[in-house]
Every structure is written in C-alpha cells, then in structure tokens.
Chains A and B, each alone.
Chain A
Amino acid sequence: MSGRPEHQAPPEIFYGEDEARKYTRNTRMIEIQLVMSERAVELLCLPENQPCHIIDIGCGSGLSGETLTEQGHIWTGVDISSAMLGVAKEREVEGDLLLGDLGQGLPFRAGAFDGAISISALQWLCNADQKSHNPAKRLYTFFSSLYGCLSRGSRAVFQFYPENSSQVELITSQAMKAGFTGGLVVDYPNSTKAKKFFLCLMTGGQQTLPTALGVDSREDAPNCVAFSQKRDRMKQLRAGKAPKKSRDWILEKKERRRRQGKETRDDSKFTGRKRQSHVW
C-alpha cells in the first residue's frame, strides 16, 4: 500500500494526466464519490425543490458536480489540477470550472453562493507542498474567503479523510476563527471501512448538527446490551454442575477424591450441613 496520497506529492502533481484518467474510470471510486456527494448535499439542508448556486471545492473531474446537476443545482468548481479539470471538460460537466489554489483564497464576491460542498479534498490543504506554505495560514485564508462568498444562512459541507485528530483540530479551529459555526458529523463511527467524516459549517449562527448515520440516536437507548443481567445470572449457574459449596457439590467432590484414591472421610448426616456463622 502506498500510503496517503497527500504525502506523496502536491495535488496538482499527484493528479497528473494518468492518475486523473485512472481516478475517473475506477468504478468503485465513482460509486463511493457518488454516495458521499449525495450525503453531502443532504447535509447542506438546501430548501426543497429550489435550484441553488453551489460551489464545489476541489471539484476534480466533476464526479461530485454531477450529483449537483442531477439535483437541479447550478455549480462552479475549483481545483488545482489542470489534468483533473481537463477530464471534467471532456466529460462535459455542466458546471463552470476554475483553476485555482484553495490556500490562496476563493476569488469570489460576497454572498455569491447558496452553499458549498467538497468531497475528499480538504486533507490536501493540511500539508505544506512548498517551502513557503504555512498550512494553518492557508486554511484560514481559505475558510475566511469561503465565509465571505457564502450568502448568510448557507452551509458548507466537507467530506474529507483526516490523518489524525490534531489535523481535525487544526481544520476546525481555522474554520471557527473565520466565523463559521458547526462541527464534525461522523457516519458509521464504529466501522473502519464505512466511517466517513463530514465537516458541516454554518454561517447563520449556532444550529444543531445533523444526525450521523449508523449511530443509535434514540434518546432512551440503553448504553449496554439488553438482557445482559440475565446472561450474568445464567453464567453463575455453572451449567450441568451443582452450584459451588452446596451439599451436592461437597458430596460430588468427596466422590471425586475417592476415585482418585485420596483419603476421604465417610459421608454422614453431618456432611455439608449448615454451620452457625462464627461469633468470635
């Protein structure tokens, strides 16, 4: 396994002509991107049946953009890889495309967009691809320019692959500094394969985060499995054998010792009788 892509090369080099083509032909990749894009649009909570103006951040070859088109929205995509944008053009995606570096800021007018989605792109901003790069500063420049070009009350949803929790912390803190509220929604948190991270950012002041998938969200759900108390009791019964220290157990043990040829007292009416508790 070659490890995380963003450790191998900057995105505009990693996603060169060959990789761009491979990426867009991989059916598994397409399927995953489609599902994640649909989930991201769902988390955007856009008004129903209303075509909106959306920005696709790190749009790549337009896989996520196609979901936006399908849902009736008009979108503009930004990406740093001209090879990926080239593939998007070939596939004749509906959205307008821009070649740009997110870390330099989004070059748009205030309130230009009704929402933003980003699929599998944000983690690329966390690495310093050039000597002069300061990831925290680039993240802040990106988030503050995004905040500016979103209309009030709109959201930005980022599906991304965080390397570790300090990366999540870095990203979230820069987003909050830029004025966003919101937080992380983790779908299927208990599955290594299905687990997906969505950073849901809002511009209209603090609101409740959407519920994650794959988590029992019932308020009265017990935090341990039902019937476990009964199971514990069953365990204590020592299936098939007499419970410890009872008369039957004592008689069985004496019989076992006799079979082993050990010296054993004869059984009598006093064997295993209840003794008075000691009062010294």
Chain B
Amino acid sequence: MKLLTHNILTSKCLKGVTVGYPLGIVAKEIKVNEVEFNPEFISRMIQKVDWPALCKAAENLGHIDDLPSAVVDDYENNEEFLKKAHHFLMEIEVINGDLICPETGRKFPVTDGIPNMLANEDEV
C-alpha cells in the first residue's frame, strides 16, 4: 500500500464512525521502490492530498526526515519539492502492518501490501 492510497483511505464505512480519517499506521515491514516520476500527476495529486496526514503517516513509518512540513507556494514549478512528494506518495510502500481507525481503534491488517478493509456484518 503506497502512502498515496493511505492518504485517501478512511474507515467511514464502519457504523458509528463520523470521519474516520486519517488512519493510523503501525508498520512491521516497509519497502522502498523506484517509481517513474511524473511531475504533472504529482502536481495534480498535491491538490487532493491531505498534507498533514501525509506527514503524520511518514512519521509513523519513521521516514519523516526529508519531507517538507507544508506545501510550498508555486509547487507546480518546484521540481525538488515535487520529487520529494513523489518519493513519499509513490515510492514508500507498507507491506505488513495495521491501519487503525482514529475513532474506534479498529485495526485493518495489511498483508503482503494489501490492506484488508472487509468489515464484519455487525460493523456496517
């Protein structure tokens, strides 16, 4: 699971959850890949990304150094910033661990890079 995906995941399908965002991450295994850099795509995604949630996720993974704490102005033309954003959004992958709902504490296990978002019948 890339951090881009984590940034858009919520637990709001669960009963009793209002926002369910952001999900906490406890990672047992992380992988860093090399992914082709697409400045146009990253530029557009930065508009959708919740930057504080991204920082928090990076912190949870222990990879916080190097990620700017806020989006810079005129980021579309700042290649260095885009490259850093790209690295965190697309190149860091959680392989094994848990995602945690901030309101109920319910854990969603991540196995082999795939988060299990299946809820039990009594949870929806």
Of B60-68, B77-85, B111-119, the one touching chain A: B111-119
Q: Is the CB of B124 within 8 A of A96?
A: no
Which residue of chain B lies nearest to A94 when distances are taken between CB atoms in the complex?
A: B35
Instruction: Determine if B48 is an interface residue (Cβ-Cβ < 8 Å).
Output: yes
Q: Looking at the assembled complex, report how far the CB atom of B26 sits from the nearest CB atom of chain A, in whole angstroms.
A: 18
Q: Is the CB of A74 within 8 A of B10?
A: no
Q: Is the CB of A107 within 8 A of B9?
A: yes
Known A51-B38, A76-B5, A104-B13; contact A130-B118, beta-carbon cutoff 8 A: no
> B13 contacts which of A53, A82, A99, A105 (Cβ < 8 Å)?
A105
> B114 contacts which of A89, A105, A112, A141 (Cβ < 8 Å)?
A89
> A107 contacts which of B4, B10, B44, B113 (Cβ < 8 Å)?
B10
Q: For residues 42 through 69 of chain B, which have their beta carbon under 8 Å from a beta carbon of chain A?
A: 44-45, 48, 50
Instruction: Determine if B100 is an interface residue (Cβ-Cβ < 8 Å).
Output: no
Give per-residue flags for A89-109: 1 if the beta carbon is below 8 A from chain B beta carbons, else 0. Answer: 100000011111100111111
Q: Is the CB of A96 within 8 A of B10?
A: no
Q: Is the interface of A mostly helix, strand, loop or mixed?
A: mixed
A108 vs B13: C-alpha distance in the bound complex, in angstroms? 9
Instruction: Determine if A145 is an interface residue (Cβ-Cβ < 8 Å).
Output: yes
> B50 contacts which of A101, A108, A109, A132 (Cβ < 8 Å)?
A109
A112 vs B48: C-alpha distance in the bound complex, in angstroms? 7
Report how many residues on chain B are interfacial, defined by Cβ distance under 8 Å: 31
Which residue of chain A lies nearest to B6 when distances are taken between CB atoms in the complex?
A: A96
A269 vs B120: C-alpha distance in the bound complex, in angstroms? 100
Instruction: Determine if B32 is an interface residue (Cβ-Cβ < 8 Å).
Output: no
Known A89-B113, A109-B21; contact A101-B41, beta-carbon cutoff 8 A: no
Q: Is the CB of A108 within 8 A of B119?
A: no
Report how many residues on chain A are interfacial, defined by Cβ distance under 8 Å: 31
A100 surroundings in chain B (CB, below 8 A): 116-118
A99 surroundings in chain B (CB, below 8 A): 114-118
A106 surroundings in chain B (CB, below 8 A): 13
Q: Looking at the assembled complex, report how far the CB atom of B48 sits from the nearest CB atom of chain A, in whole angstroms.
A: 6
B9 surroundings in chain A (CB, below 8 A): 107-109
A53 surroundings in chain B (CB, below 8 A): 41, 44-45, 48
Instruction: Determine if A111 is an interface residue (Cβ-Cβ < 8 Å).
Output: yes
B11 surroundings in chain A (CB, below 8 A): 107
Q: Looking at the assembled complex, report how far the CB atom of A52 sits from the nearest CB atom of chain B, in whole angstroms.
A: 8
A100 vs B116: C-alpha distance in the bound complex, in angstroms? 6
Q: Is the CB of A145 within 8 A of B13?
A: yes
Q: Is the CB of A74 within 8 A of B41?
A: yes
Residue from the set B10, B20, B116 with the largest chain A CB neighbour count within 10 Å = B10
Q: For residues 37 through 82 of chain A, which have their beta carbon under 8 Å from a beta carbon of chain B?
A: 50-51, 53, 74, 76, 78, 80, 82
Which residue of chain A lies nearest to B120 when distances are taken between CB atoms in the complex?
A: A104
Q: Looking at the assembled complex, report how far the CB atom of A153 sits from the nearest CB atom of chain B, in whole angstroms.
A: 14
Q: Is the CB of B5 within 8 A of A96?
A: yes
Instruction: Determine if B121 is an interface residue (Cβ-Cβ < 8 Å).
Output: yes
Q: Is the CB of B119 within 8 A of A104?
A: yes
Q: Is the CB of B2 within 8 A of A109?
A: no
Q: Is the CB of A109 within 8 A of B8?
A: yes
Instruction: Determine if A200 is an interface residue (Cβ-Cβ < 8 Å).
Output: no
Give per-residue flags for A161-179: 1 if the beta carbon is below 8 A from chain B beta carbons, else 0. Answer: 0000000000000000000
Known pairs A96-B2, A99-B114, A106-B13; list 11 more (Cβ under 8 Å).
A53-B48, A74-B4, A82-B114, A89-B113, A96-B5, A98-B5, A107-B117, A109-B10, A109-B50, A132-B121, A149-B8
10 pairs of residues in contact across A and B, judged by CB atoms under 8 Å: A53-B41, A53-B48, A74-B4, A76-B5, A76-B8, A82-B114, A89-B113, A107-B9, A111-B48, A141-B124
